[in-house]
Amino acid sequence: MSEIKKIAVLTSGGDAPGMNAAIRSVVRTATYHDLHVFGISQGYHGMIEGEIKRLERKDVGNIIQRGGTILKTARSMEFMTEEGRKKAYESLQAFGIQGIVAIGGNGTYTGAKVFSEEYDVPIIGVPGTIDNDIYGTDYSIGFDTAINTAIEAVDRIRDTADSHSRLFFIEVMGRHSGYIALYTGIGSGAGNIFLPETEDSIDELITQLKRKGRRKKLFNLVIVAEGNKNGGAMEIAAKVKEQLDNFDSKVTIIGHLQRGGSPSCNDRVLASTLGHAAVTALINNEKSIAVGLKNGRVLYTTLTEAISKENEINKDLIEMARILAL
């Protein structure tokens, strides 16, 4: 067992539904073990600026259902410098903080790894990103809520697409990861899905649309991840329009709606589990690791692995989506 008595928790990078549930879990698990907990506002920027305050059990009451993060989040260019990290360490020293739980994505993990190596501060990463692109866990906090938000939006679009016999191009988040697009496409019964991980052909899409037109399929939904190699939904729609001007096509970009809103039950349970596991890891003298959930069991992954390895998308799901859309 460690001699750690004071820990801190922060959220960094893009916000994700369920971050508050993770914060709540960290605070309540830590106080149960008689640890003092501090909240760092605005991620690594707040660590540099000393925006740190003590958190008690009551401070995290009534937040499990709230989206966003009560600690706020920010991206810090200064933390990427040695001078910035030195100031951050001095801030931690001023409060006597001996370990950190960092909730975020790859950028958060990268900062945590460098800082932990430089100052020998135990840091445990908790995967909080809607993109689900973190290695070492089946799902990241926020992903389930994001795809349910996207599905609800697409279901509504389907109603108007059907009513007007329209072709809709719907863009979802995913600059480098197609998880949101793939799950949204399968769950909504979309006709085509464009992912960053695949070499999707616009010519093939046009051929399919012509075939479906001959079958009297009067509307179609195309889900596009924002990081697709062919461009976003606007670009793909324009290219299709050049060759199929007989289609009444529309474009919808769901955007930041996917990041907001009350977290789903799955995200609340996942966040609670991983927050608890992160504090337990600190108590057990772990450092420079990330916690995840694989096949229903808590798994520890080194921050180096979590950063360097990809959470590869399931190719069988991609093939299944293609078959079901025919």
CA 209 to chain centre: 32
Report the catalytic residues. Answer: 131
User: What gap in Å lies between CA 254 and CA 148, rounded to an integer?
Assistant: 12
Is residue 319 in a domain?
A: no
| CATH number assigned to the domain comprising residue 48 | 3.40.50.450
Predicted local confidence at residue 214, as pLDDT: 58
Residues of the chain with pLDDT under 50: none
Is residue 119 in a domain?
A: yes
Do 31 and 162 belong together in one domain? no
Do 10 and 135 belong together in one domain? yes
Predicted local confidence at residue 293, as pLDDT: 97
Is residue 321 in a domain?
A: no
Do 10 and 138 belong together in one domain? yes
Do 151 and 253 belong together in one domain? yes
Which residue matches tokens 């108007």? 160
Predicted local confidence at residue 194, as pLDDT: 95
Q: Which of 260, 287, 318 is the last residue of a domain?
A: 260
Span 275-294, pLDDT tens digits: 999 999 999 999 999 999 99
Do 233 and 291 belong together in one domain? no
Into how many domains does the chain fold?
2
Predicted local confidence at residue 2, as pLDDT: 62
Do 221 and 116 belong together in one domain? no
Is residue 1 in a domain?
A: no
- pTM confidence score: 0.94
Do 156 and 231 belong together in one domain? yes
Is residue 320 in a domain?
A: no
Do 295 and 193 belong together in one domain? no
* Long-range contacts, stretch 86-92, CB < 8 angstroms, 24+ apart: 87/48, 88/44, 88/47, 88/48, 88/115, 89/115, 89/118, 89/119, 89/121, 91/47, 91/48, 91/49, 91/50, 91/52, 92/8, 92/47, 92/52, 92/121
| CATH number assigned to the domain comprising residue 197 | 3.40.50.460
- Residues of the domain holding 40: 6-142+263-308
